[in-house]
Amino acid sequence: MTADQAGPVVDTPYGAVRGRHERGVAVFRGIPYAAPPFGPRRFRPPEPPEPWDGVRDAGSFGPTAPKPPYSEAFAHYLSDPVVPGDDCLNLNVWTPEPGPAARLPVLVWLHGGALTRGSSAVPVYDGHAFARDGVVLVSLNYRLGVEGYGLFPDAPANPGLRDQLAALRWVHASIAAFGGDPDRITLAGQSAGAISIGALIAAPQAQGLVRRAVLQSGPPEAAERDKVRRMVRRMATRLKIPATAEAFAAVDRDLLLRTQAEVGRLSSPVLGGPAFGIVVDGDIVPRDPLAALTEGDAARGVDLLLGWTRDEYRLWLVPGGLMDHVDRLGPVALAGAMARCHCGHEVPRGYRALHPGARTAEIVGQLVTDHLLRRPLHRLADARPGSSYVYEFAWPSSLPDLGACHALELGFVFDTGDVPESRKLAGEGGPRELCDVMHGAWVRFAATGDPGWQPWDGSRPVRILGDGDPYTVHGPRDREFALWTADGAHESVPVGGAPPVRGTELASAVRRLRRTMRARLH
């Protein structure tokens, strides 16, 4: 490493980069880890970047992957900056001490966004606080939507996941020059980023590259191939082209994004419509990641930090006033949720008994949250006692109705609660003490593998991080979990004294719920 008046310079395998000194740490932005994925590389696995001569400036964020904007309802709460350009497979490094002698722990961050939105340029993800506290923070961009997760007969599956693997390999080979220890890499992500991490740590090609992993609000899972195919076919129908990578590559990029946004409007966790997702491909994802991690030997030496927020579903239902509409749908909404969660009538009836004052929307939301997030993360922890740590983020936003919703915790994780983009979810007055606790737990886990509380065992300890001092409970809401059955939705589904909604009506209930949500989110 060298330095001059313009900033620190570090050599990478493809050329030297010049960063910036900012608030006592060194920052390098927009470093390419793979070649631009366009032209002949469209829908193909990532390739190494072209080496460059001289010193490449790394003072600004690189281009973001092509993506549609959030709807107005969600943009009120979530920020998603766009940086134009084709060279979108890039990453950023925050480090307190660039140079091979430092050997500091490394945290590699994968952003969320349903595999269709998000980027490393979101201000909430600024890595300064991690570097300030002795952890090298790496964040990265990867292909999204149909570019990254479309399923075609003439192209390999999961190119976006392959991008992430290429970035992880870059980090393992290059991070020592930035002050990081390649033997102490923690892979961390939220929502779709956490789902990606589940697939990566289970992937045969990633074994040995990761020492620890943080899965926040996203379980290891594989999407149904037919669900992803339906997304591609619906886009192809609207575009009047074959459902092939060759045909899609010839479509104007802006038109492709508009079509993707239109087709994907109902791809929310609650509705479960066609969506992009990681699929089993016989290669990088040889089997379902959750099964590989719970039943096989994948990532056996990897420590796990697993978390969720108490009210994940509120970010899915509050925008556009959907909580009130779900309440008005009543039994129809509950029937749709049961179809979504493949459960019988005893589950929502049991939730009602345990929470007699809850609104219908709260019952629906908690059903989906438990089915999609908490139950699979519990299953993962059960399979790895002694090396798993589990927590629930329970601090409610000061904004109306959001509660402890999906993504609220990120400003606390990154100690960026003061930036406007964090306040869009948290409002004003987030407790400084909780930020110290949340951020400190991630720092300790990256450095030592122990966030500061009891590891998972037969008593199922969960650390609650919210108002006041953190505390541990054992098996929170396990009464709800005991209600779930494995035999799918029943033929007759009486709920809360309402008339039965029969199996033949479940699809109609889901369609009605989707139409309502489409109207509210348009």
What is the full per-residue pLDDT of the chain (522 aa) written as tens digits? Answer: 444 457 999 999 999 999 999 999 999 999 999 999 999 999 999 999 999 999 999 999 999 999 999 999 999 999 999 999 999 999 999 999 999 999 999 999 999 999 999 999 999 999 999 999 999 999 999 999 999 999 999 999 999 999 999 999 999 999 999 999 999 999 999 999 999 999 999 999 999 999 999 999 999 999 999 999 999 999 999 999 999 999 999 999 999 999 999 998 867 777 666 689 999 999 999 999 999 999 988 998 999 999 999 999 999 999 988 899 899 988 888 888 888 888 888 888 888 888 889 999 999 999 999 999 999 999 999 999 999 999 999 999 999 999 999 999 999 999 999 999 999 999 998 899 999 999 999 999 999 999 999 999 999 999 999 989 999 998 755 566 667 743 333 332 323 333 344 444 445 555 555 555 555 544
231, 274 Cβ separation under 8 angstroms:
yes
d(CA 458, CA 209): 29
Write down the pLDDT at residue 296. Answer: 85
Between the alpha carbon of residue 266 and those of residues 260, 401, 448, the distances in Å are: 11, 22, 41
pTM for this model (two decimals): 0.92
Q: DSSP H helical segments within 157-288, as ranges? A: 159-174, 192-202, 225-239, 245-249, 253-263
From edge to edge, which strands make up the β-sheet containing 388-393? 20-22, 25-32, 90-95, 136-140, 104-110, 180-190, 212-216, 303-309, 388-393, 461-465, 471-474
Write down the pLDDT at residue 494. Answer: 29
C-alpha 65 chain-centroid distance: 16
Between the alpha carbon of residue 448 and those of residues 95, 213, 412, 455, the distances in Å are: 18, 12, 20, 13
Q: What share of the chain is helix, strand, coil (3-state, %, to 5)?
A: 40, 15, 45
What sign for the dihedral angle of Cα 335, 340, 341, 343? Answer: positive
d(CA 139, CA 110): 6
d(CA 123, CA 111): 12
Burial label, 246 (beta-carbon count in 10 A; 0-12, 13-18, 19+): middle
Question: Dihedral (C-alpha) 421, 425, 430, 433: value to the nearest 10 degrees?
Answer: -90
The overall longest dimension of the chain from CA atoms, in Å, is 75
d(CA 371, CA 481): 9
Q: DSSP H helical segments within 87-158, as ranges? A: 128-132, 145-149
510, 326 Cβ separation under 8 angstroms:
no
d(CA 62, CA 120): 9
Catalytic residues: 191, 312, 406
End-to-end CA distance of the chain: 51
